[in-house]
Structure 1
Amino acid sequence: MQKRIILQRIFLCVLLGYLCPFRLLAQDHYQVKALADTDKIRIGEQVKLELSAKVDLNQLKAASLRLTFPNLPDSFNHWEVVDRSKLDTVTNAGNNETFFKQTFTLTSFDSGRWDIPALRFDVFSPAGMVDSAFSQPIGIDVNTVTVDTTKAFKPIKSVRTVAWNIWDYWLYMAIGAAVVLLALGLWLYFRKRPVKEKVVPAAPLEPVYDRTLRLLKELDAEKVWQQGNVKEYYTRLTDILRTYFEEQFGIAALEQTTAELLQNIKPVTILNQQRDKLRALLSLADLAKFAKLQPTPQEHEESMHKAVEIVEWTKPAAKPAEAQNA
């Protein structure tokens, strides 16, 4: 039993021998401090809390130690953290010392004397051992606003009129000017843009049959042969008929002789039925144009009548809708 107690004491001494040098070494090479810029405030006012640490880099690097700053919660002991600055580092090249500093902005909404507790700075060794250094607690009085109850309450002040300033409305004026400029630009654009011409629907084409009869009547009304222009009269008369045959029946009548034309109308039954009239008309016209024959007035009129009869005989059949309208 006594031997067991002796072994426990030896183990304890060895453990303290390992721990104590680490604590003494660490605490000798850094200093921590917490300072407040005031010791009294009114409710809602702010106080600056500055945490600082002075570190001997030569010793810390030799001992391979690492220092960490306290991490304050957003609310603690009647205090609230309004803002926290970044950790600031300043190195003194002369003695190789480094100063670490961090500032917290605190406020309180509870009246009384409240302490900012001692804050812990941790030092870690490579072996995983942890040593801590603590700052001194700081007491700060949080006072209420002093109210003199002996004096009468002051009346509520009336609404004051603020002087008008044009620069208070610059944004609205800029938006209004932009809208006006946009509207003006659109107006100018649409005003100068060329107006599309209205497309006038094309007049319906005159049917070949109607146009041919109209041309024949116009030729008859001009009294061409009565004025002595016999060749012109028969030339225009036959050209009107030949054009009618080309457009109505697809026969190249303008390029063919009288004999060729009479031969090519045989497949067209309705036109071939007027073969004798057409032969007589074309033969007389050829004599008048090329042989300088002078037909009688009766022959002139009969030629016109034959042309009209040939066109009316070959009039195309009306479509069902046209026949109903008629």
Structure 2
Amino acid sequence: MHKQQVIRRIFLSCLLGLLYPFSLLAQQAVDVTAKADTNSIRIGEQIKLQLTATLTPAQFKDPNFKIIFPVLPDSLEHFEVITRTSLDTVSTQDVHTLHQTFTLTSFDSGHWQIPPMRFEVITGANAAADSAVTLPIGIDVNTVAVDTTKAFKPIKAVQAVPWSIWDYWLYIAIGAGIVLIIGGLIWYFRSRPEKAPVVNTPTISPYELATRQLKTLKEEKLWQQGDVKQYYTRLTDILRTYFEHQFNIAALEQTSEELLQNIKPVTKLNQQRDKLRSLLAIADLAKFAKLQPTADEHEDCMVKAEEILEWTRPKAGATEEDGTAAEKQQA
């Protein structure tokens, strides 16, 4: 009895030992398939080839379990690969499906086979790679049926397409729009009213301006403060500016001698020639020769400037004959 139990245990152990590798193999088995959407095409038509690998939840979650899809070259025997998608995964509660789709075509007529596809299966970190292979797929590549009983037709000549204005309506509309815009701009610039030139009407006469400036200069008391040069520079500039605006003489650009020569045609101004000569002479010495005139000479120069202004003061409503004469002299 004891011997029978021992023999039974030995038999069961051997049986389990023999079945264990098959159970591991069944656990690691991967279902791989290759499927085409058609098995018959005409030359140049396309085939959708889908490669699929189905994994169990245990295989999918195992970090050491990997499956590598086959890498198809751009050209197979009698077939060419046009496009290929990236690897995609569809998961359910029971299985996980990996799939990839290839677009193939063929230009060789006949019955051809898409070769078996080899998947590499790695079951562990240090385990050797195993393989899972799909079955080949037969594809019929047919030619276009040609009726050989009929004669060959001659090549047709090039035919002209009838011209239609509606084929160019967009270009016509753009051209018409450009012409209208250009015409509108031309009409606008020609018809718009011209702006009248702005005439700056003087709000104060040259005589009144010069009189105010002399009064301001007198109140500043420059020579009393020792600034003799500035005093005579301002004094002569006031007179020269007055001559330029009142009598149209370029007095600011002329030397003292040139100014005395150019006032001759202006009767009123020429009558004050001696006073102007004396004033300019003292002013030039003070400005350029660093002469220090006396207080009486300072006062006398101011009085002469006021007298020149008063003598040449224009009458209200009268035309400036002297200014006209000066313009003729300069011309």
Secondary structure of residue in 2 paired with 1:244: helix
Matched, 1:40 2:76: no
Q: Distance in 1 between matches of 2:20 and 2:182?
A: 83
1:31 aligns with 2:79: no
The aligned counterpart of 2:88 is 88
The answer as to 2:244 corresponding to 1:245 is no
8 Å contact from structure 1 (residues 239, 254) kept in 2: no
Q: What aligned pairs does 1:261-300 form with structure 2 within 5 A after superposition?
A: none
Q: Which residue of 2 aligns with 1:124?
A: 122
One-letter amino acid of the counterpart of residue 148, structure 2: T
Aligned residues: CA RMSD? 4.9
Q: Gaps spanning 5+ residues in structure 1: where? A: 1-15, 195-201, 223-232, 262-288, 290-326
- State the 1:174 CA deviation: 6.4
Structure 1 residue runs of 4 or more that deviate by more than 6 Å after TM superposition: 16-19, 171-185, 252-255
Q: What residue number does 1:141 align with?
A: 140
C-alpha distance in 1, partners of 2:171/2:102?
Answer: 38
Query: 1:69 offset after TM fit, Å?
Result: 1.7
**1:1-326 paired onto structure 2 within 5 Å:** 22-27=24-29, 30-59=30-59, 61=61, 64-93=64-93, 96-126=94-124, 127-157=126-156, 158-161=158-161, 164=164, 205-215=253-263, 236=272, 238-250=274-286, 256-257=296-297
Deviation at 1:20, TM superposition (A): 5.8
Counterpart code for 2:25:
R
Greater CA radius of gyration, 1 or 2?
Answer: 1
Q: 1:26 to 1:88 in 2, by over 3 A?
A: same
For residues 261 and 163 of structure 2, the distance between their equivalents in structure 1, rounded to whole angstroms, comes to: 93
Contact 2:83 2:104 in 1 (8 A): yes
Q: Give the Cα separation in 2 of the matches to 1:173 and 1:246.
A: 81
Distance, in Å, in 1 between the alignment partners of 2:134 and 2:39 is 16
Give the structure-2-normalised TM-score.
Answer: 0.52
Report how many residues are paired: 224
Partner residue in 1 for 2:229 = none
Contact preservation (8 Å) 1:242, 1:254: no
TM-score, normalised via structure 1 length: 0.53
Contact 1:49 1:103 in 2 (8 A): yes
Cα shift at 1:164: 4.8
Percent identity reads 35
What is the deviation of 1:84?
A: 0.8
- Residues 281-306 of structure 1 deviation map (CA, whole Å, 9 limit, x = unaligned): xxxxxxxx9xxxxxxxxxxxxxxxxx
Contact 2:78-2:107 at 8 Å conserved across structures? yes
Q: 1:244 to 1:111 in 2, by over 3 A?
A: same
